[in-house]
């Protein structure tokens, strides 16, 4: 049967997510995480980046890190027009979450299709065949300010599950350790929102800074969420329906 057409509205904001087939890991090590983060930046444009062909031609070069840095700097100087606004992201070992704004018609679908190229890299690197992702990506429209605030924190606090399994249904056992872990987690946009500048070129942060406040406000907003999260979720069944069990 043909797939149901996906309806994505221009200027709409969406929670976009997917996970590995059979819940398998889609990032095996830091190199995989880094490769995907670079893809988020390079694939967010109409033009086809020649970065990966360049990489394959210099894969064994002893100066590869320097060459990559120079190539990325060259790409950024072009200031190519993006096809989506990446407002936030979080990568977990077997799934990912994005908050995206549709800024050109079909932009989110096109961006996610381009990101699918990561599967080719992953299969070659890890000597496997077949699909990497469970299905086509899921997208949920963000309809009001309350939902917007919840999804900002939901996405950015996902990594807590790595140190406190099942914490979403209970209060965290060690609040200080949890906050420290979130502050140091490299594979999300949270660090950039609280002033750590980990992936400054991936996201557009003006929107959430206008909505939440400055870096200190963003930090406080999420830390308060960690304290009260179990109560927030139990109080609002409608908000709960936007979440998918991706553990």
pLDDT tens for residues 169-205? 777 888 899 999 999 999 999 999 999 989 999 999 9
Bridge partners (DSSP) listed for residue 237? none
For 68-91, give one letter per residue: b (16+ CB within 10 A) or e.
Answer: beebeeebeeeeeebbbbbbbbbb
User: What is d(CA 133, CA 149) in angstroms, rounded to the nearest whole number?
Assistant: 28
Count CA within 13 A, CB hemisphere, residue 169.
3
Q: Could you tell me the pLDDT band of residue 163, with boundaries at 50, 70 and 90?
A: very high
- Distance, CA of 133 to CA of 96 (rounded, Å): 10
- Distances in Å between the Cα of 243 and the Cα atoms of 32, 90, 148 are 25, 14, 13
pLDDT at residue 244, rounded to an integer: 47
CA–CA separation, 169 and 150 (whole Å):
15
Query: Could you give all domains of the chain from N- to C-terminal order, each with its CATH number?
Result: 13-46+81-240 (3.30.70.1290)
Other residues' Cβ atoms within 10 Å of the Cβ of residue 231 = 10
User: How high is the pLDDT of residue 117?
Assistant: 85
Cβ-Cβ contacts under 8 Å for 178 (sequence gap 6 or more): 160, 163, 164, 167, 172, 226
The separation between CA 134 and the C-alpha centre of its own chain, rounded to angstroms, equals 17
Whether residue 19 has pLDDT greater than 50: yes
Q: Which two tokens stand for residue 96?
A: 């990912």
Tokens 């880094």 sit on residue: 34
CA gap 43, 39 in Å, rounded: 6
pTM score, two decimals? 0.86
Q: Which residues pair with 92 in a beta bridge?
A: 95
Q: Best-predicted range by mean pLDDT among 19-23, 233-237, 242-246?
A: 19-23
Q: Which residue has the tokens 């070129």?
A: 201
């Amino acid at each position: 049967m043909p797939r149901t057409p996906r309806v994505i509205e221009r200027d709409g904001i969406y929670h976009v997510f997917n996970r590995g087939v059979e819940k398998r890991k889609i990032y095996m090590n830091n190199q995989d995480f880094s490769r995907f983060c670079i893809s988020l930046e390079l694939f967010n444009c109409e033009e086809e980046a020649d970065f990966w062909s360049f990489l394959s031609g210099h894969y064994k070069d002893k100066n590869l890190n320097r060459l990559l840095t120079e190539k990325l700097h060259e790409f950024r100087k072009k200031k190519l027009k993006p096809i989506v606004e990446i407002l936030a992201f979080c990568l977990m070992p077997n799934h990912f979450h994005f908050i995206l704004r549709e800024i050109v018609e079909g932009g989110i679908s096109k961006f996610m299709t381009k990101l699918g190229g990561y599967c080719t890299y992953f299969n070659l690197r890890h000597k496997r065949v077949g699909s990497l992702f469970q299905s086509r990506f899921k997208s949920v429209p963000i309809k009001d300010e309350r939902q917007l605030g919840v999804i900002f924190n939901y996405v950015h606090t996902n990594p807590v599950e790595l140190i406190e399994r099942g914490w979403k249904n209970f209060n965290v056992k060690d609040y200080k350790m949890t906050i420290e872990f979130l502050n140091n987690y490299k594979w999300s946009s949270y660090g950039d929102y609280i002033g750590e500048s980990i992936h400054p070129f991936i996201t557009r942060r003006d929107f959430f800074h206008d909505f939440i406040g400055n870096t200190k406000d963003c930090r406080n907003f999420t830390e308060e969420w960690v304290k009260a999260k179990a109560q927030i979720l139990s109080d609002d069944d409608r908000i709960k329906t936007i979440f998918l069990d991706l553990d």
